[in-house]
Amino acid sequence: MKAIERIRRLLSSLPKSDQTLGEQFIQSRDFESLKDLVDSAIYRVRKYKAIKDQGGGVLPCKQECFDVDLVELNSLKAEVDIYLTYLEVPNNEWGEYKQEDYYDEEY
């Protein structure tokens, strides 16, 4: 499976309100914003799950955060981080970037 396909498959692990935005970031190739979105989602999910665990109850507007699988969400974070790292790897000592097409790479 190609990197973008893996990322797209894992977008469903985001809270429902973030999934469309995540797809828009992929379409526009704005992977830095996608990374920020995923990081924010992880923070929100952990925050609201901690509130629930402390007996704070379920916040109605944030119910979608409780339905998120953190393992899958962290897998999405890993895929995005790996992809961004690959895009930033210099090709030589002068800092020129690789021109290879990562879409066909498997790992």
Residue of 34 and 47 predicted with greater confidence: 34
The structure tokens listed for 14 are: 């985001």
Are the C-beta atoms of residues 10 and 76 closer than 8 Å to each other? Answer: yes
Task: Give the pLDDT of residue 61.
Answer: 44
The structure tokens listed for 4 are: 């973008």
pLDDT band of residue 19 (cuts 50, 70, 90) is very high
Full-model pTM? 0.75
27 has a pLDDT exceeding 90: yes
85 has a pLDDT exceeding 70: yes
pLDDT band of residue 18 (cuts 50, 70, 90) is very high
